[in-house]
Amino acid sequence: MKIKMNPADKFRRPARVLKTVGHPDRLAIVEMLEHGEMSVNEIAEVLGTKQSITSQHLNMMRDKGVLYARREGIKVFYGIENKNVIRLLHCIHQSCDTSLQDQN
Amino acid sequence: MKIKMNPADKFRRPARVLKTVGHPDRLAIVEMLEHGEMSVNEIAEVLGTKQSITSQHLNMMRDKGVLYARREGIKVFYGIENKNVIRLLHCIHQSCDTSLQDQN
DNA sequence: AAGATATATAGTAATATTACTATATAGTGG
DNA sequence: CCACTATATAGTAATATTACTATATATCTT
């Protein structure tokens, strides 16, 4: 049994994470949650997006292992499960102000 | 004139870059190019993907400002235009071995 | 110009994302 | 149980991605 390994194979999961946070709203959510949990409505309000969309983003990121969810009574609080995404965020901020955005 | 700014606005471009490299083949390409330029065929061969697909990935990353292309005779060499993606890659590798892949 | 090599692109089908509305579900308090 | 608040989900339409085949374009060599 010889299993063919492509160079891309080891990037399957990192790529999935990058794709997961590769959305303006979702990146903003990660930043908001960096310093603590927030409820769905809080997040939606800050983002200025509809509740249902926010919920979808949050659920999606939880599915991918980026966030976790914790119910507290009537509310659900989300937090960062995969701490590496914070590292990612810092990496983005660190790259100057215009960082990953611009060239060089 | 008051322009409404959402928290997500400042993440438009970083998110686009993350999405751009959020594909196993494209991440692998970035890694391959970290230490120097390569031609399309070289890249395709190492990746084990078809030439046309590789070309599409390369073109796409060039469009998004991640890579640059340089023609040399009959060949086209690609290299990394946005050096911040290298930082990203290191960030991924640095996060343990199982890094961004796993939780925590 | 013809042939060979390297790269790009057109066309396409399957699938995924995105953003939306409306509705359903879960928990709390009366 | 009912009303209320908070969250999740179903259904949907527009658009984007992906991977593929076939073909076009560009460059060099003879």
pLDDT for position A11: 95
Tens digits of residue pLDDT in B6-18: 899 999 999 999 9
Contact B100 A9 (CB under 8 A): no
Strand C contact at CB of residue A53, distance < 7 A: yes
Residues 73-92 of B with CB under 8 A from A: 81-85, 87-88, 91-92
pLDDT for position B99: 44
With a pLDDT cut of 70, the percent of chain B lying above it is 91
pLDDT for position A103: 39
Closest-CA residue to B30 (of B97, B92, B102, B98): B92
Strand D contact at CB of residue B50, distance < 7 A: yes
pLDDT for position B88: 92
Contact B18 A15 (CB under 8 A): no
Is B53 part of the contact surface with chain A (CB cutoff 8 Å)?
no
Q: In this complex, which of B82, B87, B100 lies closest to A14 when CB atoms are compared? A: B100
Euclidean distance between CA atoms B91 and B86, whole angstroms? 8
Q: What are residue A77's DSSP bridge partners?
A: A39, A70
Q: Nucleotides of chain C within 7 Å of a protein C-beta?
A: 4-10, 17-23, 26-28
Inter-chain CB pairs, A–B, below 8 Å: 149
Q: At CA B64, angle to CA B9 and CA A16, rounded to 5?
A: 75
pLDDT for position B103: 39
Largest Cα span, chain A: 54
End-to-end CA distance of chain B: 44
Tens digits of residue pLDDT in A20-73: 999 999 999 999 999 999 999 999 999 999 999 999 999 999 999 999 999 999
